[in-house]
Amino acid sequence: MNWQWFFPPGLYFVSGVAALAGARTIWLNENRNPGAETLAIMLIFAAEWVFGLAFGTISTSFSAKLFWVKVHFIGVAYTGTIWFIAMNQYIQGTQWLTRRKLILFSIIPTLTILLALTDQYHGLIYKEIFLDQYGPYEITSTTYGIGLWLFLIYNGILVVGGSMMMISTLGQSWWTFRVNGTIMLIGIATPVITLSLQILKPEIFGPLKPTSLAIIFSGITAAFGLESARRQQIASVSRYEIFDTIEDIILVSDSQNRIIDMNRIAEEFFEASLADFIGLSVDGLIPQLREINLTKDNTFRLIFNKQGMQRNYECNQRNMVNWEGKSVNTMYILRDTTKRAEMEQRITTTLEEKETLLKEIHHRAKNNLQVISSIFNLQSKLINNQAMRNAFQESQERIHAIALVHEKLYQSEGVNYIDFADYLHTLIARLLRRVEITVSSIFFDIQVDDISIPYDLATPCGLIAYELISNALKHAFPKNTEGTIQIICQYIHANSLRIKISDSGVGIPNKIDITESITLGFQLINILVFQIKGLLTIDQRSGTSIEIVFPINEDE
């Protein structure tokens, strides 16, 4: 087939389809730049322009050709104005285009279209329209009227003005994306140059009217060039406004651990520029890395001597992966933790001092309680009444039970908790030394979990245990009868403890109600159970079993 059948109408049709495809792609892009939607609209008008030229070329009657000349002028009239609007939107944002501005910008294109549609009455747009034979087609040629010349000047000002404003916004960032910028420049300049040549040297293009094609090329390249430039501007912001303003030292190495990038803080720390370190091994820059064993979160500690001072750094090593998920680079982030380390050291020292002080307090409290116990002991020897002497000795034993709490707190690794199992074993051993009973006749069944009781509960729990165990030793097994004392202390759920002390002895007489008893021991037990917000239950079916359940949560 002769190529003249395709040229120029086939080229117009292909360009129109490309314009519509470009407009659709721009419109569907979720991350559209301000002005991108307007560029898509411009491409639609440009498509209308070239389709009008295509149908006008293949039409056979002069009247049909005149119809398509008027139709395609709609695209001619609006593309320059839409281009100017799109450039301003990109620079100033979508809020720039108000309804008033839209109306003002529409006046001249709309007036020009009206003049084109009524040209046969005044000839302001085309002085003359005639046909030239080109291959199988008759091509319309025109002589421009004064109205069209004025419009072309106005349109040229809009296109050039919008283009220059866009170029000026690139400013010093031009070289950051010079490839895209060059493409955008070519796209912007193409319609201006093409239109100038078409007016001054129309014979260069023969039957082809290339301005519409140039407009399409310019719109597509501008839209995609601006999108690419925007992404590079974002990358530029990330590099210069984020990467270089982070106060941590950042090094980036390639797959062979050679330095390829570092931020401004790193350059200041190592007192050299990035160019001095490009290609240098990270291990060569930081020799300590060769002996580092990474933790599970890829962090480790480093120590540098800077200006005669030791600086502590926490280094975080992260692998950087590409879109395929393959590791391509490694990033080292070094954070100065000197102040934090000094703070931690001060806190540790302060805590140690406070712990030592609290231990000393517990030690002195234990000694003071032992002094009080000794005073009770001396006082009891001056009392002839056996009942009063026994009362003094029982109070002395209770003081010993409290002193034992402070002794265990002093001996413990911490100062706020005691090992309750250890406390109970020591308490039972002391009670057996003081109670007149044959030890071999009593069997102790101690079932105590690994429980640490907080200080505020340790004293009441210790006194409760003392009262219940001493009562069982003194009263449950008369005349040295044999029996068993069972002591159970265990968690019943996360925040509650159960203390159960039972014996297989003679039991408490039925006439005695422990919750209403007037004896000091039972009154003390009730007061202490209330103090720790506990619940007391008694089982007297076989011997005596007393169970206390209380919360151990520190927030209670």
CATH code for the domain of 138:
1.20.1070
Give the angle 92-97-99 at the CA atoms, nearest 5°: 160
- Among candidates 507, 501, 514, 446, which has minimal Cα distance to 477? 507
Which pLDDT does position 256 carry in this prediction?
80
Are 145 and 55 found together in one domain?
yes
Are 171 and 277 found together in one domain?
no
Are 218 and 125 found together in one domain?
yes
Determine, yes or no, domain membership for 532.
Answer: yes
Determine, yes or no, domain membership for 449.
Answer: yes
DSSP state of 242: I
d(CA 544, CA 476): 8
pLDDT at residue 98 is higher than 70: yes
Are 269 and 217 found together in one domain?
no
Are 367 and 499 found together in one domain?
yes
Determine, yes or no, domain membership for 341.
Answer: no
Q: Which of 196, 221, 243 is the last residue of a domain?
A: 243
Phi, psi of 137, rounded to the nearest 5 degrees: -115, 150
Strands (E) in 386-543, as ranges, are: 417-419, 442-448, 452-454, 483-493, 496-503, 535-539
* Domain, as residue range, for 330: 249-336
**Beta strands at 483-493 and 442-448: parallel, antiparallel or unpaired:** parallel
Predicted structure pTM score: 0.44
Total domain count, the chain: 3
Are 135 and 190 found together in one domain?
yes
Distances from the Cα of 452 to the Cαs of 134, 160, 308, 415, 449, in angstroms? 104, 83, 47, 11, 9
Determine, yes or no, domain membership for 216.
Answer: yes
Which pLDDT does position 175 carry in this prediction?
45
Give the angle 376-377-382 at the CA atoms, nearest 5°: 95
Determine, yes or no, domain membership for 342.
Answer: no
Local confidence band at 417 (pLDDT 50, 70, 90 cut-offs): confident
CATH of the domain at 389: 3.30.565.10
Burial label for 338, CB within 10 Å (0-12, 13-18, 19+), is: middle
Determine, yes or no, domain membership for 366.
Answer: yes
Which pLDDT does position 429 carry in this prediction?
82
Are 102 and 199 found together in one domain?
yes
Q: Which of 309, 336, 363 is the last residue of a domain?
A: 336
Which pLDDT does position 511 carry in this prediction?
59
Which pLDDT does position 548 carry in this prediction?
92
d(CA 522, CA 516): 8
Q: Which of 336, 361, 392 is the last residue of a domain?
A: 336
Are 291 and 382 found together in one domain?
no
Which pLDDT does position 525 carry in this prediction?
87
Are 378 and 492 found together in one domain?
yes
Are 267 and 391 found together in one domain?
no
Are 414 and 361 found together in one domain?
yes
pLDDT tens, residue by residue, 506-541: 877 665 666 665 577 788 888 899 998 999 988 887
